[in-house]
């Protein structure tokens, strides 16, 4: 079964509550993903501004790689926008549950 965006965000949020950041290795270890698949998940969430890096970023590179950077070298945390997305998922779950009744 494929890993979904929601699951990755939930993992990043959980690790954040534990005071940890998340790297591609975290995803590889959690779901036995390939390194490339883990990086694609993080890249997509980063591009959508649902996660951000802990590292200082040069202007214009807050949500994308700079010249010579590799995503595998970065560690991420959830953003307020990412937390809002998780709340949206929870609301959708409640609405779906209500609809089934």
C-alpha 79 chain-centroid distance: 9
Phi, psi of 70, rounded to the nearest 5 degrees: -125, 135
Query: pLDDT under 50 in the chain at which residues?
Result: none
Tokens of 11: 């993992």
Alpha carbons 90 and 25: distance in angstroms, whole number: 27
* pLDDT for residue 98: 67
pLDDT value at residue 101:
56
Structure tokens at 51: 């996660």
The phi and psi torsions of 78 (rounded to 5 degrees) equal -75, 150
Nearest by Cα to 38 from 71, 1, 61: 71
Give the model's pLDDT for residue 79: 96
Domains of the chain in start order, with CATH, are 5-100 (1.10.10.10)
* Three-class HEC string of 27-59: HHHHHCCCHHHHHHHHHHHHHCCCEEECCCCCC
User: Which residue(s) pair with 51 in the sheet?
Assistant: 78
pLDDT at 100: 59
pLDDT of residue 96: 77
At 90, is the secondary structure helix, strand, or coil?
A: helix
* Per-residue pLDDT at 3: 92
């Amino acid at each position: 079964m494929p890993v979904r965006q929601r699951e990755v965000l939930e993992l990043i949020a959980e690790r954040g509550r534990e005071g940890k950041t998340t790297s591609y290795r975290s995803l590889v270890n959690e779901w036995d993903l390939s390194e490339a698949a883990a990086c694609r998940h993080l890249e997509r969430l980063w591009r959508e501004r649902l996660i951000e890096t802990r590292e200082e970023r040069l202007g214009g590179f807050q949500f994308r790689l700079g010249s010579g950077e590799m995503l595998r070298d970065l560690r991420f945390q959830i953003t307020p926008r990412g937390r809002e997305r998780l709340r949206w998922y929870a609301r959708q779950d409640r609405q779906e549950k209500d609809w089934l009744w």
